[in-house]
Amino acid sequence: MPFARLLAWYAVYYDAQTMSEAARMASFPENEELQQAGQATDAGFLWDFWYPAVRSEEIRGKRLATAMLLEVPLVLGRTSDGRAFAMRDSCPHRGIPLSYGRFDGTTVECSYHGWRFDGCSGKCVEIPSLTSQDKLKVDRIFAGHYPCEERDGYVWVYMTAPGGRAPEKIVAAPELPKFGARFKRTQLFCDLPSHVDHGIIGLMDPAHGPFVHQSWFWRSRRSIHEKEKKFEPIPNGFRMSPHSPSTNSAPYQLLKKMTGAPVTTTIDFVLPNLRLEEIRSGKLWFSSRATVTPVRRDLCRIDFVAAWNVPLPVFVFRSFAKTFLRQDQETMIQQSEGLKHNPRLMLIDDADRPAKWYFALKANALEERRTGQAKPHPMDGPVTLHWKS
């Protein structure tokens, strides 16, 4: 796509009235022509960031796992000395997925002609068909590979832009904040049949709560009331400043009774896809992170991890969290039905303001990558938003 057109496209893409072209393309998975046209357009992904690929337990022993991030197929494994690695799941010889091959704890052997690749560097270490006559420099051949780190039971992969290389120094993969040495932890995930942008703005949307998340233990539709929340800019994101959470939710009332101390909540959104929430009351704390990761342009995945020292059994928390995630998932499945017909969409004030910030931050990040120049944060200071939920 010519550059000017690409720019024009971004201009439309971030217009508050419209959704991404990629999200629209994604609505027609059955239409091959559109899909091919879609391949040629930008899928609206943010490259050069860390994304969670698989849970650590999926790469035990010599087992290889596969994942897809930003439409890149990956094969992941763990070397015998415990290091996680991620390669492009495609042999550089003929393209067969390397995940069909064998892993010996250090190298992955392709199932087709037996080329072997070092898991951590992707470097080719053997081509069995070569004879002493051959001059081919085997160690100049590489399978695609990506930086890989483990945190909080996830294998994170740094997704470098296609054709790009990982920079010499990259920031560490994100870690869930914890406020003490002893805590419980759990992980949950769910797939959403939508473009990552819809997943993310759904995640930060304050107005769907009373309609989507009605439950006896949480709140009823009748509990809807006016709210006023302060937001402030943070690097690559924004923060809902520390505040006392909604009094219409029973768990918060209980927490306050237990500690006798006020309950405060802080919620951050950080590019490309992280929502972090911490709830604190006296010595008790609860910390959670949700990430919405693009798998393909028409599919994303929420990974949710939480750690806490509040006296809350894991199974109880999981059953509540599953209910919430399922409610969101069902809503997104229904939404994707509607998006197939390419509707015009709206972002309104103030309930959709966080979504507007997300699109603006994303546009900035893309522009900064393109020009190498830092763009000003879309918020010029703290603001107070009002909505009813």
Owner of token pair 């250090």:
106
Work out how close the CB of 101 gets to ligand FES at its nearest, in angstroms, rounded to a whole number: 8
The interface region with ligand FES, picked from 68-76, 91-99, 334-342, 379-387 by CB under 6 A, is 91-99
One of 60, 94, 221, 230 touching ligand FES (CB under 6 A): 94
Element (H, E) at 104: none
Work out how close the CB of 92 gets to ligand FES at its nearest, in angstroms, rounded to a whole number: 8
204 contact partners, CB below 8 Å, separation of at least 6? 269, 275, 354, 355, 358
Work out how close the CB of 108 gets to ligand FES at its nearest, in angstroms, rounded to a whole number: 10
192 binds ligand FES (CB under 6 A): no
Distances (CA, A) of 177 to 149, 257, 271, 289: 17, 24, 17, 9
One of 53, 76, 91, 270 touching ligand FES (CB under 6 A): 91
Owner of token pair 């040629």:
40
Residue 164's SS3 state is coil
360 binds ligand FES (CB under 6 A): no
Give CA angle at 59 (326, 105), nearest 5°: 170
- Which does residue 328 touch among ligand FES, Fe ion, none (CB within 5 to 8 A, set by kind)? Fe ion
142 binds ligand FES (CB under 6 A): no
With 0-12 / 13-18 / 19 or more C-beta atoms within 10 angstroms meaning exposed / middle / buried, residue 339 is buried
Spatial separation of the C-alpha atoms in residues 11 and 80, rounded to whole Å: 49
The interface region with Fe ion, picked from 77-85, 221-229, 295-303, 325-333 by CB under 5 A, is 325-333
* Cβ neighbour number for residue 134 with a 10 Å cutoff: 10
123 binds ligand FES (CB under 6 A): no
One of 96, 188, 345, 385 touching ligand FES (CB under 6 A): 96
Owner of token pair 């027609």:
28
The interface region with ligand FES, picked from 12-20, 105-113, 286-294, 354-362 by CB under 6 A, is 105-113
102 binds ligand FES (CB under 6 A): no
Which CB atom, from 62 or from 113, has the smaller least distance to ligand FES? 113
194 binds Fe ion (CB under 5 A): no
- Which does residue 96 touch among ligand FES, Fe ion, none (CB within 5 to 8 A, set by kind)? ligand FES
Give CA angle at 76 (70, 77), nearest 5°: 165
113 binds ligand FES (CB under 6 A): yes
Which CB atom, from 28 or from 218, has the smaller least distance to Fe ion? 218
- Which does residue 16 touch among ligand FES, Fe ion, none (CB within 5 to 8 A, set by kind)? none
One of 14, 112, 183, 387 touching ligand FES (CB under 6 A): 112
Which CB atom, from 100 or from 387, has the smaller least distance to ligand FES? 100
Residue 385's SS3 state is strand
Residue nearest to Fe ion (CB): 328
308 closest CA partner among 184, 182, 151: 184
The interface region with Fe ion, picked from 292-300, 322-330, 345-353, 374-382 by CB under 5 A, is 322-330
Spatial separation of the C-alpha atoms in residues 270 and 384, rounded to whole Å: 19
Spatial separation of the C-alpha atoms in residues 360 and 105, rounded to whole Å: 44
SS3 sequence of 73-94: EEEEEECCCCCEEEEECCCCCC
328 binds Fe ion (CB under 5 A): yes
* Cβ neighbour number for residue 265 with a 10 Å cutoff: 19
Which CB atom, from 109 or from 328, has the smaller least distance to Fe ion? 328
One of 35, 55, 93, 256 touching ligand FES (CB under 6 A): 93
Question: Helix, strand, coil % (nearest 5) of the chain?
Answer: 25, 30, 40
Q: 285 - beta bridge partners?
A: 280
Provide the binding-site residues for Fe ion, judged by CB under 5 A.
Answer: 328
Provide the binding-site residues for ligand FES, judged by CB under 6 A.
Answer: 91, 93-94, 96, 110, 112-113, 115
